[in-house]
Amino acid sequence: MGSRKSMTRPPPDAGFDVKPRNKIQRQLLHIKRKRAKDSTRRAERYAFKKEEAKNPKLKEERLRRNIPLTIDRKRVWDDADSDVEDGLGLSVDVERIKRRKQEEEDELNRPLKGPEQSADEESDDDDDDADEVDSMLASSDEEDVDEDDEDGDDSDSDSGKKKSKKDANDSRGRKSTLPSATERATSPSQSTKSTNLSLVPESLAAKFPSLFNTEKPPAPKILITTSLNSTLHQEAQLLTDLFPNSHYVRRTRHRFAHQFSIREISKFASNRNYTAVVILREDQKKPAGLDIVHLPTGPMFHFSLNNWVEGKRIPGHGNATEHWPELILNNFRTPLGLLTAHLFRTLFPAQPDIEGRQVVTVLNSRDYLFFRRHRYVFREKRETEKAVVGADGKEMKGAEGIRAGMQELGPRFTLKLRRVDKGIQRASGQEWEWKGGMEKTRTKFQL
């Protein structure tokens, strides 16, 4: 009979399921388990890679299926009918509302069917068509979030819900056309779409006629200044390089100087044919905000500014020229987003200098506006580089041997919209104002 100490030891052929009492042995056992798990996964991955090399369709299916569900793909919208378009605080997709209106008009203009069809059958068909139209238009983010919440419930409730859904589908005689969150994630990302500036609600255009002018907009002429006694003279001078046809004027709070207010500066600039006034705000000798006044009477936009990086601090940066840049506005989809996009449109000329090959990009991602300025060039593709692919992951036709080279010019910074005033400054009233409670729902965005 063995000793008591020998009986507590595990046999030498025991697996990783035994938990030793010694801490060092437990750590070594954890490392062995992790290495064994990694080697197993690596072997499976390389085996699947060999199969994909023999059958390319397997790789296409894997790439189509393994797209992560990000917060942008789970974006939710406010419940609003096609007639509700004037609310700046509503997070509604203007493009979806326009498409729904167009499909409703097409449905009304569709010729009637034969007289042999009864009125009851027509009403049933109309209801089914309306359901199909809603499911096609919506790609409902709210319903997808509900489905994700249902997955986290108890197994009993899940089984009951699945049975009820199955019975509902069987009673209708057809499968539901609503795409799931995983199916929607396999489609091209909506965040890469450029902003359609023609989708402007009528009420929004009537409220801000100066921003949504149907005539050819005038050439921009911008007055750039800072807060009183600011030290950001170099940063303000860089903004004159970013915005075409702009001039920087210092502000002072000297005891023998007149302290001009923003209203007085705006009136002064409007009398001299300026189209906008840009005020760079400072906090602890760093850029902290950007206020933009659309002349002559507003509106006025207040942005907070962070992540300011000058062009000379960017690795491999280039030097900007005096050519007017192109403007790219991405992912502005709500009425407030279109209002902000039209503001930036008025700060840049409508006809850029293409020979300069300079482009300014304003990308809206989760209500943060990322400003970047680049110079691009089209060159031949090297042998070590990959081909240009589209949103579906396939190689684009006509661009087999072409690559686009980019060089950042700077400056780069990030903006977040805080307030929109009706006129100039807060005393004129607020059209929209950011509040902390708006970020309680992480999947709802205002722009």
Summarize pLDDT for 8-65 with one digit per residue, the tens: 555 555 555 678 889 999 999 999 999 999 999 999 999 999 999 999 899 888 888 8
Given the DSSP bridges, would you call strands 276-283 and 222-226 parallel, antiparallel or unpaired?
parallel
Question: Which pLDDT band, with edges at 50, 70 and 90, does 113 fall under?
Answer: low
Say which residues have a Cβ less than 8 Å from residue 335's Cβ, sequence separation at least 6: 85, 86, 87, 88, 90, 92, 94, 201, 204
Q: What does the pLDDT read at residue 35?
A: 95
Least confident of 170-179, 271-280, 334-343: 170-179
Longest Cα separation, the chain: 106
Average pLDDT on 390-409 reads 83
Spell 76-86 as b/e; 16+ CB within 10 A means b.
bbeeeeeeebe
Q: What does the pLDDT read at residue 8?
A: 57
Residue pair 236/280 in contact by the 8 Å Cβ criterion: yes
CATH 3.40.50.10480 is the classification of domain 202-439: yes
Q: What does the pLDDT read at residue 163?
A: 46
Q: Which secondary-structure segment (H or E) carries 96? A: helix 94-109
The C-alpha atoms of residue 258 and residue 252 are separated, in whole angstroms, by 8
Question: Which pLDDT band, with edges at 50, 70 and 90, does 344 fall under?
Answer: very high
Least confident of 132-146, 219-233, 257-271, 285-299: 132-146
- Tabulate helix, strand, coil % of the chain (nearest 5): 40, 20, 45
Q: What does the pLDDT read at residue 114?
A: 54
Q: Is the pLDDT of residue 147 over 50?
A: no
Among 185, 279, 196, CA closest to 235: 279
Among 333, 335, 363, CA closest to 420: 335
Length of the chain in residues, anyone? 447
Residue pair 129/103 in contact by the 8 Å Cβ criterion: no
